[in-house]
Amino acid sequence: MASTPRFQYTLGTPAYRTYKWLGFGLLALLLIIVAFAYNDTGSIALLDNDYKISVTRVTKAIAFMVAILGLQVVAGFTGQLSLGQGFFFGTGAYISAILIADYNWSWYLTLPVVITVCFLLGLVFGIPALRIKGLYLALVTLGLAAVFPSLIKLDSFAKYTGGAAGKQIDYEFVQPSWVPLDAVADAFHKIPLIGSYFGDGEGLSSKEEHRVWTFIVMTIIALACFKMVSNLVKSRPGRAIRAVRDNETSAAVNGISLSYYKTMSFGVASALGGVGGSIYVAELGIASEGDFTQLLSILFIVGMVVGGVGTLSGAVIGGLVIAFVPDWASSTQSLPGIPERWLQGPTGGLILGILLIVLTFVLPGGIISGVRQIKAKFVRVTPPRPALVAVGSASTSTLSDDSEADSGPSDAESPTIADDS
Amino acid sequence: MSDSSAPAANPTRSGERVLDVKGLEGGYGQIQVLRGLDFHVSDGEIVVILGANGAGKTTTLRAVSGMIARTGSVKLRGDEISSAKAPDLVRRGVAHVPQGRGTLPELSVEDNLRVGAYIRSDNEIDADIERWFDVYPVLRERKNQRAGSLSGGEQQMLAVSRALMSRPTLLLLDEPSLGLAPIIVAELFERFAEINKETGMTMLVVEQNAQLALGVADRGYVLESGAIFAEGPADELINDDAIRKAYLGV
Amino acid sequence: MELFLNRVSDGLSNGATYALIAMALVMIFKATTLINFAQGEFAMFGGFIVLVLATERGLPMWVAVVVGMLISAVLAAGIERTLIRPFDPANHLPLVIITLGLFLAINAIAGIVWRFDPRAFPELFPSGNALTYGTATLSWYTVGTLATIAVVSGGLTLLLTKTKVGLAFRAVSSNLESSELVGIKVGPTLQFGWAIAAAVGTLGVCVFVASPFRQLEPQVMVTGLIFAVSAAALGGLDSLGGAIVGGLAIGLVQSIVVPYSPIPNELSLLAAVVVLMLVLLFKPSGLFGTPQVERV
């Protein structure tokens, strides 16, 4: 370890608290900027290509983030992959869509229904968890993901789901009158140099207002989900499960029923998937089976791995990656040196597939581990007194609670499922 | 394994060190079990490594065989093999019968023997298989049965025969008595002695059953917590009171 | 009755393809307890190679198939060597992720190179019927697919029981450590398994699309994989014979279920997944698999 990091903090000190609040403040500022910038579909032009970004796309990414968060729970607590998060995502989307379109519910009220139903479904499919170690969940969830579009189109369900045509909802998220969206937008517009990205200074149209407000609502919900998972991970049962995850004897001796907790965590993961779907359909306005194919489930895995398996920030990165990469890849119509023919077609899939493979070799802990390694060169946080840090326990597929005092610059090891030696 | 027509020969021992180990260290991940072992096995000897559970006996054998990461010098007839991987060892004439027999349960008895000769490309393989069926008729009876369906003792016979199918010059045996009934174990060790006598096969045996092991061995080492606690000729070890009390349960 | 016989005939010929892909899955699973989620894409890619060889290079159909199988075997061997072998076989997570990455990448490459419009695939078997009974017909196609399974099954059996590499493969599938101890090099042996699996898979896709009712396109094996996984699970994930039985069974389930839905695909996929769930729930080792697959 060449140089000592420039910034050192000890947990619990006022200096550390300031550092943390600074971080949160920056994050909040970033969110606000995102909310108001590119409110309408903006785009970045690079090399003759037009890359679209907008608040709506970011909201979609949020939906994905919550779904991937669910995957992180499964991976972190059970050490397994679920290949069917798309199933629960789609289920949540359709439940919300049906309740809103056919029964005039408010979107907010559909959430508890979605959570309950998806949680129970998760229990049902996860109950025989670990029948075949490692493989059961992957195979069952693979089947679920594959069959979802078919279920939607089945005659007996089609009358509720709208079948292949999809289920449209006409829902507006209207902000309470005390939220000064117009004022904030105009304030941004006045900032020299970058003001032009923030609308036209004449207030927001109601459509724009709704978009921003939707984004704000979804961000709050997503933050709540992340906080919940973070608490889960830090809780006593949470830490206990992570500690004995792969050791049945340890678990039994400590009075923990691994099967129970693993099933429950799959329930939680499924519920999160459902919430993600609800967010998605709220944003998109329509639930259509073509959006919820096997491919989506695989994309969620890609997001999780690219972001960083078993980490919370990894879910955020992953959501952004899968929301934007395929889109931008198909927007890339010309790159110097590459024949056009190669840029048409599913380049997004190709990029993600290659990314997945390359990351497994080079950065198995995902992007977040790279970020942490870089960050570790500048900042170190130490616990208040010498603690017994488990040697070499940079095992990444335990859900890290992102508390920085965990394990310094690490995460260079391959995440493992059942074998964590 | 000799022809019944030729008299049982006791090939002269050359005194050469077949296996010479110095400063062997190794373990599992963060846990270093072996702490610098020095031992050797000379041509034609039966050497035994004894010790309590957890002393590191199996780890030692696995280290020699290249099944775990190790440092130190391991020489086979003067050639350094400390960087060799497990599949290469057998090509150099080392056969390892792992703990628990290590039979291939889904394969037939005959296939187990055949796979023992994997590295050979001569045409005497079938003849050797027949010979082992002669030595252990019960294997011939069960030659098409799944090896996993054999009893513990039968599997041990199979494992040893399989190891010898590669015509090794050094045989490593990891706790051959484990899980076997005393009568079978006694027969087993008699057989080891016979093989050694008839062919001069050099053997390194790791055992918990010290009494029997020292009965057939030339020399022994006693391992404790990954280091060698005592060594010497077998009859001396077996008569040493301190060792008897501490390790041999006598 | 005759309608039923026709359905059985259809079911068997579909089942033959599932059986072949299932055999490919089982080959790899036996040796590594890994499910190669990209197996369907390997097979589809191989199918396109065969198509190119037959239509653009003008090779006779069966020659194209054999050459295509060889090429896909070589490609798979290369993939094993570069992407799979560097990882500890006991640790499944990176390997599963790699197979998922391969799934995406290979599917995308096929889409980029060959686009997504379905292509007609030349027939492999004589057209027409071998037998007729009233309005029931047994097409040469069905006979051909079943004959293909028989030949592949026989070939694999010979390969595994009578050759040295086959023995090594069975040994590695049974006990990895002991295999190393007798001098078997695990890497190349697994590579052999991957190569054979790819070749068998390619043949499976060829047989599937060589029907006048089907065409080759990059998405052909995306749901096909699910059928194959169900078939393999039903038969027992480590049993090659089981894969055949499972494949034919799933094919029959699919064709007998068809009449009940105007959108055949939907219900038959559902049926296959239900079979998969039931197997995993009640008898995870399938019909012929070894129970050690179950958690003790």
Q: Write out pLDDT tens, residues A398-416.
A: 454 444 433 333 333 333 3
- Whole-complex ipTM: 0.89
Does residue B94 surpass a pLDDT of 50? yes
C221 touches chain B (CB under 8 A): no
Contact A368, A317 (CB under 8 A): yes
Interface with C, mutate which of A81, A132, A249, A419 (most C CBs under 10 A): A132
Q: A70 lies in a domain?
A: yes
Q: What's the pLDDT at A246?
A: 65
Contact C29, C21 (CB under 8 A): no
Q: A417 lies in a domain?
A: no
A421 touches chain B (CB under 8 A): yes
Q: CA of B30 to nearest chain A CA: how many angstroms apart?
A: 8
Residue range B172-195: average pLDDT? 88
| Contacts for A192 with CB less than 8 Å, ≥ 6 apart | none
A152-200: per-residue pLDDT in tens?
A: 887 777 778 777 788 888 777 777 777 777 777 777 777 776 666 666 6
Contact B36, B228 (CB under 8 A): no
d(CA C220, CA C107): 10
Q: Verify whether the Cβ–Cβ distance B29 to A421 is below 8 Å.
A: yes
Q: What's the pLDDT at C293?
A: 43
Residue B144: other Cβ atoms inside 10 A: 9
d(CA A92, CA A278): 5
B84 touches chain C (CB under 8 A): no
The closest alpha carbon to C27, from C154, C277, C199, C213, belongs to C199
Contact C228, C41 (CB under 8 A): no
Chains touching chain B through at least 3 C-beta pairs below 8 angstroms are A, C
Interface with A, mutate which of B28, B30, B31, B32 (most A CBs under 10 A): B30
C181 touches chain B (CB under 8 A): yes
B125 touches chain C (CB under 8 A): no
Check the CA dihedral A188-A191-A197-A200 and report its sign: positive
Q: C181-191 burial, b if ≥16 CB within 10 A, otherwise e?
A: bbbbbbbebbb
CATH value at residue A107: 1.10.3470
Q: What's the pLDDT at A235?
A: 84
d(CA B91, CA A265): 50
Boundaries of every domain in chain C: 2-221
Q: A418 lies in a domain?
A: no
| Contacts for A112 with CB less than 8 Å, ≥ 6 apart | none
Q: Which domains does chain B have, with CATH numbers?
A: 17-247 (3.40.50.300)
Q: A412 lies in a domain?
A: no
Structure tokens at A414: 């391959």
A113-160: per-residue pLDDT in tens?
A: 999 999 999 998 887 655 556 677 888 898 999 999 988 887 777 778
Contact A55, A34 (CB under 8 A): yes
A77-109: per-residue pLDDT in tens?
A: 777 889 999 999 999 999 999 998 888 888 899
A345 touches chain B (CB under 8 A): no
Query: What is the count of structural domains for chain A?
Result: 1
d(CA B31, CA B42): 30
Interface with C, mutate which of A137, A350, A358, A421 (most C CBs under 10 A): A350
What one-letter code names the amino acid at A368? I
Q: A392 lies in a domain?
A: no
Highest-pLDDT range among A38-52, A130-144, C95-109 = C95-109
Residue A111: give the domain boundaries. Answer: 7-382
Q: A415 lies in a domain?
A: no
